Chains A and B, each alone.
Chain A
Amino acid sequence: GAVVSQHPSWVICKSGTSVKIECRSLDFQATTMFWYRQFPKQSLMLMATSNEGSKATYEQGVEKDKFLINHASLTLSTLTVTSAHPEDSSFYICSATTRGRGNTIYFGEGSWLTVV
């Protein structure tokens, strides 16, 4: 069964509003979580890496004030898309890993965001 749960799977929001996506590790403590974004017909691109209890590290070109990442506990990370615009419509997916799992990275199911 799934070891990383992502919610919601689908979300439609109005332009200018904020939307939060949750990523939970179900049976392990995720010391590190990653957030990816995929635009149509493009590769999944890493947005940011978050370690529990510290600030996320954002990849170049990703606005940290727009994509707020919180990794407040060892089982939960959240991505908040603030003041969403239609160009933020994308597939967002999280993954998690921990020491002792043989460098295996577990993925959530992904979240489809549509901003109208």
Chain B
Amino acid sequence: KQEVTQIPAALSVPEGENLVLNCSFTDSAIYNLQWFRQDPGKGLTSLLLIQSSQREQTSGRLNASLDKSSGRSTLYIAASQPGDSATYLCAAAGDYKLSFGAGTTVTVRA
């Protein structure tokens, strides 16, 4: 059974600092890995999807890397802003199912 772990559980940084969010998974047989953002009281927003054959994906200030062999993915957010405050979830996809981490709650202080 896939186990997904996200560290740290919570993170507070001053505005402008770069964010590094970690995600690890136990079963490397994944199709892809996705990063989501969840705002309080709102749904999930898909941020980045990395296929198993890829090493990284970039979108604006976001960059996500994937190392299947070590079972790790990292989400980098450059030059953080208060609007980046949210919970970030990673999910590993295998056999049409997603296994989610518990998330990292980020607070960016103005």
Contact = CB atoms under 8 A, between A and B. Distances in A.
Interface in A61-116: 93, 95, 97, 102-105, 107-110, 112
Contacts of A97: 96
Given A43-B102, A44-B89, A102-B51, A107 B97 contact: no
B102 A9 contact: no
A65 B109 CA distance: 46
Given A41-B102, A42-B102, A110 B97 contact: no
Contacts of A46: 97-99
A105 B31 CA distance: 10
Contacts, number: 53
Given A6-B43, A43-B102, A102-B51, 18 more contacts: A34-B96, A34-B98, A36-B100, A41-B102, A42-B102, A43-B4, A43-B103, A44-B89, A44-B98, A46-B97, A49-B96, A95-B98, A103-B96, A105-B96, A107-B46, A109-B43, A109-B44, A110-B43
Interface of B: 4, 31-32, 34, 36, 41-44, 46, 49, 51, 89, 91, 93, 96-103
25 contacts: A6-B43, A32-B96, A34-B98, A36-B98, A42-B102, A43-B4, A43-B100, A43-B103, A44-B89, A44-B91, A44-B98, A45-B100, A46-B99, A49-B96, A49-B97, A93-B44, A95-B98, A104-B32, A105-B93, A105-B96, A107-B36, A107-B43, A109-B43, A110-B42, A110-B43
